[in-house]
Structure 1
Amino acid sequence: MNSASEFSELMNALPIDRRRNLPIPAVTARHPDGEPDFSTVDGREAFRLASEGRCGICARPFDGEVAFLGSPGALAARAYHDPPMHESCAEASTRLCPHIARRDMRRLTDRRSTGELPAGSSPEKPDRWVMWICRGFGGAVVNAIPVFLPAPYTRLRTFTYTADGQIRETFDTTPGGTG
């Protein structure tokens, strides 16, 4: 299904979900039975890793720039619910996360592990994803949910869907651009 080349090299040590053949990101919430809930971020773990200067995907330390992956709304607000990542882990997520990689893939709505969507989040899937790459970030907890506040970006990368619904990078670096 997924080849090792699709993973970020940093993700090689992550446990693999045998049912989906996908690496389990460090901040993936768990159902009460221990099964990974890929639709929900474990906020406590995300905040802990971020406060230690570690990636929310592979849990390894940052060595410079950090990346945030989110919707144009997250870009406009300069606030992300998903934790900071290595750029290579964020890029691998665009290929490996079914919700991001395929336009027609919808996120589960039962959210059995931790409850509900963070305030300000939309259950609607964006038409593009923007990777904000910067040299630092802050954080806050709003309504018991971590919010990550990136430093000014050094680069933006934009990913949109092709006519057949697959994600691709558009190389558009303007915040409101469509590629």
Structure 2
Amino acid sequence: MVKYSQEFKLNVVKEYKSGELGYELLALKHGIGDQSQVRRWVTFYDSFGEAALLQNQNKKVYPVKFKLDVLDFMKRTGSSLMETAISFRIMNPSIISVWKKAYEKGGIEALERPRGRPSMSGKPNKKQKKQIHKKIISREEELERENELLRLEVEYLKKLQAFQMNPESYLEKHKQRYHSNSKKHSD
């Protein structure tokens, strides 16, 4: 997709307004891929003035509520992409069709997802920090649990070894311990 400078767009629109050439001839003259692009610039110029062509809204982020309002308006009124874009001052009407496809495919959640790549700054954002903290805590808890299980296993193996070496004395020793514990509970 070719990006045109703001000044270039404004010059093409002014040339159209002079009345010498139509959409198609202007597109051919300036090497613009499609006459609809010229028509879109003229429509925005007529609706919002020069400021519409000079604004750079490529990086504008729209809230989910706004996107839903736009899609609802389009559905209720049967407006075209261009009419809807003009009504909501969206300078790129094709973004509305992207929202519509995303909503149809994935619902509201699809409209919430940010587009494009995540930041390459290397610094984790707040959400990532919370997830890392949870992972550290859960990993720490996991290691403590594993440590406790290993202690129990070692204790069990020691008792097993003692029993195998001398079963009678082991049983006698533990019988005494068992009886002394049961007397405490029965008092």
TM-score between both structures, scaled by the size of structure 1: 0.21
Higher strand fraction: Structure 1 or Structure 2? 1
TM-score between both structures, scaled by the size of structure 2: 0.20
Higher helix fraction: Structure 1 or Structure 2? 2
Structure number with greater Rg is 2
